Structure 1
């Protein structure tokens, strides 16, 4: 009988289960394709760039956050999440190269392998959501499908952001606290029931029996205390904003059972003390590891016991000291206080994000109307999830630098509370009978009833679009360009120096070029002499510089290298990478220079690529057909050619569409000096 019931449940939920597992497989496959999209420089420069440089001895960019004089990023989490996996990749590379003659030390492996670790870690969020749903007896199928189909998980979930790790830690913390709340509520209910019976008992035998039953109940007050404290320490050292996300969750762990007969305010204080004591071991471990890495502490200092307060560094404290100054955060961009709630939440969670904002507004309105009976209970899972969304959102909105990825830990609370809307639909505004004028205005402004199929369809469409945009299109040519330079240019030994100029794109991680570090001290085994490699690759990143100014910069670099070629026979190659939407601007800059010496020729174009710093020009006809050397322009160039009278509207539309599509690329140019009988190869 039970078996038949189980089979019916499986059959009923079979479609949702299949959908979830298909999406989970897609999540892993998207790592191997791979996703060329480049969301933000922190994706590489706060973890992979530094760890790859340390592990493989490569040229890399060590950002100011890892400055030894004032480090604000802990090295422990990147060490375990990125460096150790890279060390494992380095180990298996030896065997793969020996047995299969395949070298895994490539730009592709360096991009994909850390992301594979992160995508495996992202399933912690799925597991946590599933366990929360099971422990509280709510429908998990549609919630799991919503989680797996969200572009937040498909794209951000595989990236080496500290925010991605923060999301996973918050998810685990939510599950532990939610599960502990269920356990405590059960034990407290039984304890209160037995206490009531004990007080009403008239005979000693009955009192003894009830006392023994109450004493046999399991402990619950300090359940998972050490685990919660450790997660909080790891979260804070990974990213100190974890304080905002963890604080309301931990508060609900402290609040369990308050107001009942068996739990008092003393239990609340004892739980706080237990958390503090439990956090000490992991706190000491992180401080010592950071102090060793950044050179504040050495093993010799520990051996001779010459250790003082100056031998330790607390990176979260430095992080807070830096970000508490608005002038420092303003250097990274100043945003309005409402950006998170009005832009970033709808961007990340689209329909569910908008519903969560309206739902919270409705709760505030009910509270102001003293409609307490329709508000969630203070110690319920609904209250926990609501606090886990809007308490950190309120704190983060006070900071003047706001980015969507800062809100990734809100994923599970939003999906848990509102994912059922994808199945049941969205109900229009419901009158609260508090104020007729407000009810009338809200009924006109807020959305009407929307069917679940419609909501789910829009959810899928929006997430597919955003997955393509952030996963493949946004800055998608950067890695492809770096891979091309690494495989086609830097492998030639006859080239002494390679110079790469970039414009209107994000910073390029140097580790992708796989250039041996020039800072590593090497030893000549024959003479025993110490030496360093000479630098042969130079990167010039000019951001959103005006194209005419960019031309002047390249002219200076070219003149200097020509001088070195004439005096020291130092060979060189100069390259420029720039979005194809600036093809015409670049050609016109060469034309305006009135120089007949410097020329440029397109080497390759990498698709797809979109730089928001250089958006495509939809009104220009066929800019990609312009020849890259403006001095070779003739009357056949389609930009200056008049449309013939017999051109059909279809032909014109196709050409216009082609010109727009070709602007979604990243062009690599070879810059050289025009010499007689010389051509660029």
Structure 2
């Protein structure tokens, strides 16, 4: 066990080293999905870096194809903190800060894997973590600001919520199920990061319903009874409705954030928060992305 800990420590150092010194570009999206979008807000005047910036088409009006949520969390907030601390933005700092943030966040994946493996009674949780920590994907991709990286973090949070959160806990007169509400909110965050995220989430949603059905049957068995089909169906519908409400509420918050960022940055707060303005200027990035991809697919088919 001690040797495995040393191996993990060496792999952790290698991960940080790759984040800081592996400067080769894997794909332009490494820059176009976060740094290029957010750097313009901290580079002012005639700075040479400002003139070199290029805002990707996915973040341009009139139909932004990506939500600002991911770049704001990964690059925007750290850049603002750097500006607040009086640190001069340079090319290397703008490159490394999001990388280091995601590198640190990637260790959350290690912890999530460990906890999930323990929850599933895996015979060798440390072996699972070492396999993950030694993979090329972890050492290179997960310390770079791709939307896929953030998607991986959100999916890990979903698995942790499903496998490790108390499934029996209910609130508000046993009506609200916190586990379902958290999963609904995480689904919204993942969906607005990459609109394909629901495909990865779908098996987890089915497992949530299965586990809640199992809990219901166990509760009835203790009373020497069996729940009827209608009762089980109502429980499944209750879980689905609560998850949808949580998803819709979180999605609405992100839509408002995107709408203000893309269309109301220079307007008074009372204007951008008015229902009339929001109704006319809503930005639903995943829908725009889906329309774009469907249009391109149709164009290719017609060719």
Residue 184 of structure 2 is aligned to residue 229 of structure 1:
yes
Partner Cα distance (2:288, 2:36) in 1: 21
Q: Offset of 1:105 from its aligned partner?
A: 3.0
Partner Cα distance (1:62, 1:329) in 2: 25
Equivalent residues, number: 273
Q: Offset of 1:87 from its aligned partner?
A: 1.5
Which residue of the partner structure matches residue 171 of structure 2?
none
Q: Offset of 1:309 from its aligned partner?
A: 2.6
Residue 222 of structure 2 is aligned to residue 254 of structure 1:
no
Partner Cα distance (2:274, 2:79) in 1: 34
Q: Is the 8 A contact 2:272 2:278 kept in 1?
A: no
**Please, what TM-score do these two structures have when normalized by structure 2?**
0.82
Structure with bigger helix share is: 2
Partner Cα distance (1:253, 1:320) in 2: 27
Which residue of the partner structure matches residue 72 of structure 1?
65
Partner Cα distance (1:46, 1:145) in 2: 29
Cα-to-partner distance string for 1:465-488 (whole Å, 9 max, x where unaligned): xxxxxxxxxxxxxxxxxxxxxxxx
Partner Cα distance (1:294, 1:105) in 2: 24
Match of 2:255 among 287, 293, 298: 287
Partner Cα distance (1:18, 1:304) in 2: 57
What does 1:589-628 correspond to in 2, within 5 Å? none
Which residue of the partner structure matches residue 23 of structure 1?
11
Q: 1:15 and 1:268, CA in 2 relative to 1: closer, same or farther beyond 3 A?
A: same
Match of 1:90 among 70, 83, 86: 83
Match of 1:106 among 82, 90, 103: 90
What does 1:349-498 correspond to in 2, within 5 Å? none
What does 1:505-520 correspond to in 2, within 5 Å? none
Cα-to-partner distance string for 1:95-130 (whole Å, 9 max, x where unaligned): xxxxxxxxx532222221110011111112111101
Q: 1:252 and 1:221, CA in 2 relative to 1: closer, same or farther beyond 3 A?
A: farther
Q: Offset of 1:246 from its aligned partner?
A: 1.1
Q: Offset of 1:222 from its aligned partner?
A: 2.4
Q: 1:50 and 1:220, CA in 2 relative to 1: closer, same or farther beyond 3 A?
A: same
Residue 125 of structure 2 is aligned to residue 140 of structure 1:
yes
Q: Offset of 1:39 from its aligned partner?
A: 0.8
Q: 1:157 and 1:308, CA in 2 relative to 1: closer, same or farther beyond 3 A?
A: closer
Q: Which has the larger radius of gyration?
A: 1
Which residue of the partner structure matches residue 265 of structure 1?
233
Partner Cα distance (2:187, 2:43) in 1: 31
Q: Is the 8 A contact 1:322 1:328 kept in 2?
A: no
Q: 1:257 and 1:243, CA in 2 relative to 1: closer, same or farther beyond 3 A?
A: closer
Partner Cα distance (2:97, 2:273) in 1: 38
Q: Is the 8 A contact 1:296 1:312 kept in 2?
A: no
Which residue of the partner structure matches residue 156 of structure 1?
141
Which residue of the partner structure matches residue 117 of structure 1?
101
Which residue of the partner structure matches residue 277 of structure 1?
245
Cα-to-partner distance string for 1:296-351 (whole Å, 9 max, x where unaligned): 68434346664363221111111111112344796xxxxxxxxxxxxxxxxxxxxx
Q: Offset of 1:226 from its aligned partner?
A: 1.9
Q: Is the 8 A contact 2:32 2:55 kept in 1?
A: yes
Q: Offset of 1:265 from its aligned partner?
A: 1.5
Match of 1:175 among 152, 155, 160: 160
Aligned alpha-carbon RMSD (Å): 2.4
What does 1:512-551 correspond to in 2, within 5 Å? none
Partner Cα distance (1:326, 1:81) in 2: 29
Which residue of the partner structure matches residue 414 of structure 1?
none
Which residue of the partner structure matches residue 128 of structure 1?
112
Q: Offset of 1:257 from its aligned partner?
A: 4.3
Which residue of the partner structure matches residue 55 of structure 2?
62
Q: 1:251 and 1:221, CA in 2 relative to 1: closer, same or farther beyond 3 A?
A: farther
Q: Offset of 1:31 from its aligned partner?
A: 2.0
Q: Is the 8 A contact 1:296 1:313 kept in 2?
A: no
Cα-to-partner distance string for 1:472-531 (whole Å, 9 max, x where unaligned): xxxxxxxxxxxxxxxxxxxxxxxxxxxxxxxxxxxxxxxxxxxxxxxxxxxxxxxxxxxx
Partner Cα distance (1:50, 1:17) in 2: 39
Which residue of the partner structure matches residue 291 of structure 2?
321
Q: 1:281 and 1:221, CA in 2 relative to 1: closer, same or farther beyond 3 A?
A: closer
State the SS of the aligned residue for 1:324: helix
Q: 1:106 and 1:254, CA in 2 relative to 1: closer, same or farther beyond 3 A?
A: same
Residue 264 of structure 2 is aligned to residue 309 of structure 1:
no
Structure 1: runs of 5 or more not aligned: 1-12, 95-103, 188-218, 331-681
**Please, what TM-score do these two structures have when normalized by structure 1?**
0.38
Q: 1:308 and 1:125, CA in 2 relative to 1: closer, same or farther beyond 3 A?
A: closer
Which residue of the partner structure matches residue 47 of structure 2?
none
State the SS of the aligned residue for 1:316: helix
